[in-house]
Structure 1
């Protein structure tokens, strides 16, 4: 009698058992050697290198710490909770990478500073793809989201030449310290937007003054991890930017208003000295109206040029860094 078409069977992948017979793992060292031996079948040199090193370092970590079964299970449960927290508009694994300094390290190795170019920093877990395309001078934030901020500058190359039609994407929290993605009733992007530089490389937009904020510990596995590590969970106030232009290296950066007490101990190691900026206070009602602010006469002004490097300049800087 034939089986019903609805019956499913476990499916083997396309790989067969290795020709080399591996010894049964009678001791810890054999387990590591076997795992590396199986990875030797990987035909991709880069992939093989990454997994060889991952296996070695991960196994060595287990040996050095004498990891217990209970600790291993706690780690599994933590990673499970981290994955379950991720959504299409929130990336908890990026946040985990951030607080362990991995994101900052990857950024530093891949995006070395090129001359006077604007330094990069971590992306963070709250970038989304749905920011609205806005016109120069528009506001990224709906009214009431915080104190007024006007941001303007030029996008230029390392020689100071303007870069027209560059895409400037920006996002930040409101004055409560929440990104729009942290609100359960979010129905549209807020405190984020996408702009283009003009023919002279100039960009401008209205925003709100950034505030310092905590990585939440009540519903956030990474926040709970920081509690376990006896570390504070604060990020200094900052404004994210992602800048792209044809023929130039993509830039992911943030700007941190000076004077924030958390700058030197940012929970995700994102602050670089050149990214600490001064906000100027403008108290002029006519100027506020000309910038498009609806209420009051006072706003903060950030004048910040963005200097992009070419891929060739960036590659030379990477090669120089690797030789250092």
Structure 2
């Protein structure tokens, strides 16, 4: 196994978000039993952080109507860190009742996207996080709150988003009571230079409370952007099996970073993820069968692992 360059983390975590960000963006409604199989197989492949769904009204996203049941199953798997997305206080109350480990509250740095997606301004969302924090503390629950700043590099509805606004909102989320913050390139506008510049400043502000980078591969730069984030000291990333996903209110934003491609890139560089890629690819094959007719992405599933993958560094340099 090769060793990562000194400037890069020695380990990284891939949070699987296909069951939420992926499934909410496609027409197929996957049966609960198959979702449970997905969670079980991802766990057996070594994944220890999975976003299993979102507590939103079923009439809006019927694809995610079984989130509480999925949280209940995920909680039976030892050391699986289970997260859900919540858009408001009502969703947070459901997440608390379900005993999820973490709830993600999405905030769009783009005011236009925020209004289209949540019918709230970004600062309205910050105020909602303060209410969620108060409800969480009053309940005595240990669930963590993550404020996710989306459209951080631009938006198909608004266009340019100021870096200073992204950082202001990130700090506001922390001040409102978020335990963690993350940054997302919701519509795939970022390039590695932009990521390094923003993430370095974000880490200076949030320190170890900066939790995750979320990239879309809309323009083919998803993995390059992950590398730039690694250079900035970030080592936790969202990804979707088979690269499914996107944003229903951001036209053209299809295609999250593929979990299997990201796991391969990190593993090839000697960055430990704990993921068995062969098992992950086997799961991808099953998910592709379940989602027949949907557009899937990724490269590793077509080419397979190279024969040199996992060899000691001295063997590669001989």
Range of TM-score over shorter length: under 0.3
| TM-score under structure 1 length normalisation | 0.23
Structure with the higher fraction of residues in helix conformation: 2
Which of structures 1 and 2 has the bigger CA Rg? 1
Of Structure 1 and Structure 2, the greater strand share is in 1
Task: Compare relative contact order (CA 8 Å, sep 6+) and give the higher one, 1 or 2.
Answer: 2
